[in-house]
Chain A
Amino acid sequence: MTTTTPPPVHGYDELARLMSLMTGDEKHGPAATSTLDALWVLYDRVLRVSPGTVDSPGRDRFLLSKGHGPMAYYAVLAARGFFGEELLPGFGSYASPLGHHPDRLLVPGAEISSGSLGHGLPLAVGSVLGLRAQGLRDPRVWVLTGDAELDEGSNHEAIAYAGPAGLDQLHTVVIDNASATYARPGGIAARFEAAGWSARTVDGRDHEELFAAFTAPHPGRPHAVIARVAPGR
């Protein structure tokens, strides 16, 4: 696969405008912005995937598990050239490929369909296993979840398995906007560490902190980055 990615069609400064092209999803608005910076840093500086490599077996995979509030995700995909911004105004309409939860069969660049919480981490575990089964040890798999999404038990089946199995190609970014009704005792990072993961907690708005955490070495272990953002954002 290619080691260089083409320059973005739009920069970070354009994301707010791209997001404003989408309307009609006020309920999910705050959740949408909470993911914006993590998504941008991933697609801009970490993920080895581009519009030209969306079908390449050796690409990195990004799985948006928290499918609620996908406006930031769509804005970033448009900014990176996976599809044209002319699709954005149709957001949520009958003929649009861009729903309030993404559908991988409709959205160019989307690796999974999500919306029902707790499916992304198990699918990411399987993606790593599938890559391993084919001898592909280089591609990395990233999955984005929310802190409240970790309430779903299916995540814990995946977390508890991935650590002992040593799935070091697996990466999770947890957007922590303190939206879980019952906070996790000891914090979110401790949950992952207890299962044998490497974990870091950072300011989810600070691009350098995010980048450093995203690229921290974690030999033999899956890696979790807890990106803290202001509650309700």
Chain B
Amino acid sequence: MDTMRDRFITTTTRLLDEDPRITVVLAEISRDGFQQAERAHPDRVVNVGIREQLLIGAGAGMALTGARPVMHTFASFLVERPFEQVKLDLGHQGVGGVLVSAGASYDWPAGGFTHMSPGDVALLDTLDDWTVHVPGHPDEAEALVRRAVKGEGRVYVRLSLQSNSTGRPVGGPGFSTVRQGTGGVVIAVGPLLDNVLAATEGLDTTVLYATTVRPFDAAGLRRAVGTGRSADVVLVEPYLAGTSTGAANDALADLPHRVLGLGVGRGELRRYGQMADHIEAHGLDARALRQRITGFLPG
């Protein structure tokens, strides 16, 4: 099976052939993958070297001339390092573009904290009018990349090596219902769905699946909690724990409710190893999730 990043490259390579408006800006990362596209469209696939401020600034400048730029590198160097460029060159200039990241929160644990970006979604959350896609499978990545690139506005697509076993349709902008129950709502984001389904096996809970987390599907959550007098919600996100807790609170402002935000811990683990080690260390494996979810939801 190819990875989400592989799928991003093949999909974008096809989109470059289809739509002359599309451009790709790279900062060395994935340059090999885009070689064929670069040969076919030398003026529309641009590698600026290891220069991430320029990566965003150049993409935004392209957008000023009417292009639809796709900017890509690892999440830490795409969102965190050039954050002011993301804020000003795209947002404040009032232009659109697509940021596609690789690396996510713990894709390369042996690489250490410099290559982990658990805070990317929370950072973008300080800005207005960003759409954030978190696909949970390469098939979903393909659909969401295509939607983002063919669309308008500012979009962040967060790719990861972590994947669910099967892809799901990502037709609508809102959360989809995977399982229906009466004892609380668990929202699984992107690649954590399989672990959430395993963790909630046999429990009477609703499981919603989110591949688009911004805008947050407030109406979908409101519907899912039903007509009871209170609501209990668990968010399971593959980035900083609690990133969407505020959004869930806002969605349920008219109802007494409790929200548990699970995700990647704030503290540095200062450990290497494998992705599975880090998923377990952050309590995001099925066993730990079940313990934390059942401990929170009313029996």
B38-53 Cβ-contact flags toward A at 8 Å (1 or 0): 0000011010110101
Asked whether A133 lies within 8 Å of B62 as measured between CB atoms, the reply is yes
B211 interface residue (CB < 8 Å to A): no
A168 to chain B, nearest CB (A): 14
B192 interface residue (CB < 8 Å to A): no
Asked whether B61 lies within 8 Å of A127 as measured between CB atoms, the reply is yes
A112 interface residue (CB < 8 Å to B): yes
Asked whether A123 lies within 8 Å of B57 as measured between CB atoms, the reply is yes
Asked whether B54 lies within 8 Å of A122 as measured between CB atoms, the reply is yes
> Which residues of B are found within 8 Å of A61, using beta-carbon distances?
64
Interface size on B, residues (CB 8 A): 31
Asked whether A132 lies within 8 Å of B84 as measured between CB atoms, the reply is no
> Which residues of A are found within 8 Å of B69, using beta-carbon distances?
126, 130
With A and B bound together, what is the CA distance between A121 and B60 in angstroms?
A: 12
Asked whether B62 lies within 8 Å of A158 as measured between CB atoms, the reply is no
With A and B bound together, what is the CA distance between A112 and B67 in angstroms?
A: 16
> Which residues of B are found within 8 Å of A124, using beta-carbon distances?
61
Asked whether A112 lies within 8 Å of B46 as measured between CB atoms, the reply is no
B89 to chain A, nearest CB (A): 6
B93 interface residue (CB < 8 Å to A): yes
> Which residues of A are found within 8 Å of B92, using beta-carbon distances?
103, 113
Asked whether B65 lies within 8 Å of A127 as measured between CB atoms, the reply is yes
With A and B bound together, what is the CA distance between A128 and B57 in angstroms?
A: 12
A189 interface residue (CB < 8 Å to B): no
Instruction: Say yes or no: A130-B23 contact (C-beta < 8 A), given A119-B88, A123-B89, A161-B51.
Output: yes
With A and B bound together, what is the CA distance between A125 and B57 in angstroms?
A: 8
B190 interface residue (CB < 8 Å to A): no
B96 interface residue (CB < 8 Å to A): no
> Which residues of B are found within 8 Å of A122, using beta-carbon distances?
53-54, 56-58, 60-61, 85, 89
With A and B bound together, what is the CA distance between A135 and B49 in angstroms?
A: 23
Asked whether B67 lies within 8 Å of A158 as measured between CB atoms, the reply is no
With A and B bound together, what is the CA distance between A130 and B64 in angstroms?
A: 8
A57 interface residue (CB < 8 Å to B): yes
Asked whether B94 lies within 8 Å of A127 as measured between CB atoms, the reply is no
B226 interface residue (CB < 8 Å to A): no
Q: Which of the residues A57, A103, A116, A126 comes within 8 Å of B84, measured between beta carbons?
A: A116
Asked whether A112 lies within 8 Å of B54 as measured between CB atoms, the reply is no
Asked whether B88 lies within 8 Å of A127 as measured between CB atoms, the reply is no
Interface residues of A in 92-143 (CB under 8 A from B): 103-105, 111-113, 116, 118-119, 121-136
> Which residues of A are found within 8 Å of B93, using beta-carbon distances?
104, 112-113, 123
Q: Which of the residues A103, A135, A153 comes within 8 Å of B53, measured between beta carbons?
A: A153
With A and B bound together, what is the CA distance between A77 and B53 in angstroms?
A: 29
> Which residues of A are found within 8 Å of B57, using beta-carbon distances?
119, 121-123, 125-126, 154, 157-158
Asked whether B48 lies within 8 Å of A133 as measured between CB atoms, the reply is no
Specify which of A123, A134, A153, A154 lies most central, judged by the most chain B CB atoms within 10 Å of its CB.
Answer: A123
Instruction: Say yes or no: A129-B51 contact (C-beta < 8 A), given A104-B94, A113-B88, A123-B89.
Output: no
With A and B bound together, what is the CA distance between A111 and B51 in angstroms?
A: 23
Asked whether A134 lies within 8 Å of B85 as measured between CB atoms, the reply is no
> Which residues of B are found within 8 Å of A131, using beta-carbon distances?
65
Instruction: Say yes or no: A112-B23 contact (C-beta < 8 A), given A123-B57, A158-B54.
Output: no
> Which residues of A are found within 8 Å of B62, using beta-carbon distances?
126-127, 129-130, 133
A225 to chain B, nearest CB (A): 20
A3 to chain B, nearest CB (A): 21
A132-168 Cβ-contact flags toward B at 8 Å (1 or 0): 1111100000000000000001100110110000000
Q: Enumerate chain A interface residues (CB-CB to B < 8 A).
A: 57, 61, 103-105, 111-113, 116, 118-119, 121-136, 153-154, 157-158, 160-161
Q: A119-B85, A123-B61, A157-B48 are in contact. List 6 more A-B contacts (CB 8 A).
A: A119-B57, A122-B89, A123-B60, A125-B54, A129-B43, A129-B46
